[in-house]
Amino acid sequence: MPFATRLDNVETSAIRELFKLLGRPGIISFAGGFPDSALFDVQGIRDAVNTALTEEPGAALQYGATEGHAPLREQIASFMAAKGVREVAASDLIVTTGSQQALDLLGKTLISPGDKVIVEGPTFLATIQCFRLYGAELITVPVDGDGTQTDALEQLIAEHQPKFVYLIPTFGNPSGALMSLERRRAVLEMAVKHHMLIVEDDPYGDLYFGEAPPPSLLALSAQVPGSRELLVHCGSLSKVLSPGLRVGWMVGPAELLAKATMCKQFSDAHTSTFAQATAAQYLKAGRMPATLARVRQVYAERATAMGEALRRELGDAIEFVQPQGGLFIWARLTGARGQLQDGGELARRAIDKGVAFVPGAPFYARHPDPATLRLSFATVGLDKIEEGVGRLAQAL
């Protein structure tokens, strides 16, 4: 069967092959990108859906506006306002079927075949594939412990004139990095100076362990005149409440939202109103602060435990920045004392020892660093974290 030429640009990920092995009995998995199901506020969601079906059964079960269920758009605007985002009204955002769909709509709306897009190296794997399906040529900007290297970013913008720049400034998947306040400001100023559209993907920003991170680019844009009109912000309930609802959102310039809404009409008509009405009732019920406090605490303990175990068990064989939030430790094999320095090879050996993680190379759109690893602490209890890291040390 002859498929569309755009499929020539992507391939089924090598990671999927790895995931097939995770079902083996006894495997401790640091490979997932999921939040922990055990932390879901099932009772809160049950109350929310029952309220929705009592108060607004028609709206919750009928076709809805492509832009999103109006009460949910209001609740999301309030949710963001509570995090310091000013002057974003319900009408300044559209609801998306998870933030994955926001990426898809950006690709559909903005990327013509051959257009360049700058992404972080490493970045979210599904972003790479999503944009490539629309024919994007991806350029990578390096990331360090303070996030995207903004000097390098400005050079790449000047050199490549990309269609837009895609960043995950806060606890990104896979890097876990936290972009500093200075660099955030630099990105917004750069956007204005070069008239460059910036996409901020922010599914993890609420999952901080100690102090709150610096304001999102969206929140900060109020301080950088002209930057709001060049900024797209993607949010999601997936990592903090439930991925199964598939409720995300996108804030952006009105003209872009209008085009994205048109594209969404022909993608899935609208996001499930059943899920949207449930999410709206959940937010309205005021349960989110307690839910966030709980997940932050649990993930913080697991992150600390994994960091300590890695330092203790793997010593100078590995280097990483201890994450201040999110779901991941991003690490690099140093090759010290002639030890293994290939993440893919370690992943294969680790499976045999009964522990899984994802090698880092596939997260690079270009110039992969084969020494990197992504380890998720999110779904593994403290005991199993210790045991899993011990197995990892044996696999080295």
111 is an interface residue for a second copy by CB under 8 A: yes
Nearest CA among 208, 387, 205 for reference residue 306: 387
Q: In terms of CB distance, is 7 or 82 closer to a second copy?
A: 7
Cis status of the peptide bond prior to 122, with omega within 30 of 0: yes
Task: Classify strands 247-251 and 231-236 as parallel, antiparallel or unpaired.
Answer: antiparallel
Which 8-state DSSP code applies to residue 332?
E
Asked if 338 is part of the footprint of a second copy (rule: CB under 8 A), the reply reads no
19 binds a second copy (CB under 8 A): no
Using CB under 8 A, pick the residue from 21, 61, 292, 382 that binds a second copy.
Answer: 61
Q: Helix, strand or coil for residue 320?
A: strand
Query: Under rule CB under 8 A, which residues in 69-108 are in contact with a second copy?
Result: 97-98, 100-101, 103-104, 108
Best CA proximity match to 59, nearest among 213, 255, 362, 281: 281
Q: Which is nearer to a second copy, 197 or 251 (CB)?
A: 197
Residue 374 binding a second copy, by CB under 8 A:
no
371 or 378, CB closer to a second copy? Answer: 378
Q: Which is nearer to a second copy, 69 or 183 (CB)?
A: 69
- Among 67, 71, 95, 109, contact with a second copy (rule: CB under 8 A): 109
Give, in degrees to the nearest 5, the angle at Cα 178 between 222 and 128: 95
Binding part of the chain for a second copy, among 58-66, 177-185, 215-223, 350-358 by CB under 8 A, reads 58-66
| 291 forms part of the interface with a second copy (CB under 8 A) | no
Helix ranges restricted to H, 56-114? 57-61, 70-81, 98-110
Q: How far is the CB of 86 from a second copy (least distance, A)?
A: 23
Q: Which residues contact 152 (CB under 8 A, 6 or more apart)?
A: 141, 142
By CB under 8 A, tell whether 269 contacts a second copy: yes
* Residue closer to a second copy, measured from CB, 185 or 287: 287
Comparing CB distances to a second copy, the nearer of 63 and 211 is 63
Q: Of 49, 72, 288, 392, which lies in the binding site for a second copy, with binding defined by CB under 8 A? A: 49
**Spatial distance between the Cα atoms of 280 and 70, rounded to a whole number of angstroms:** 9
Among 17, 112, 210, 211, binds a second copy (CB under 8 A): 112
Q: Is the peptide bond before 213 cis (omega within 30 degrees of 0)?
A: no
Going from the C-alpha of 388 to that of each of 29, 34, 232, 243, the distances in angstroms are 8, 17, 39, 26
358 membership: H or E segment, kind and range: strand 358-359
CB of 272 to a second copy, least distance (A): 4
Task: Please report, as residue ranges, which positions from 114 to 153 form the binding site for a second copy (by CB under 8 A).
Answer: 115, 126, 129-130, 133-134
Count interface residues toward a second copy (CB under 8 A): 72
**Cβ 30 to a second copy shortest distance, Å:** 16
Site for a second copy in 194-253 (CB under 8 A): 197, 238, 242-246, 253
What b/e string do you get for 137-157 counting C-beta neighbours within 10 Å, with b at 16 or more? bbbbbebeeebbbbeebbebb
The one-letter code for the residue type at 232 is: V
Is 64 near a second copy (CB under 8 A)? yes
Query: 263 vs 321, which CB is nearer to a second copy?
Result: 263
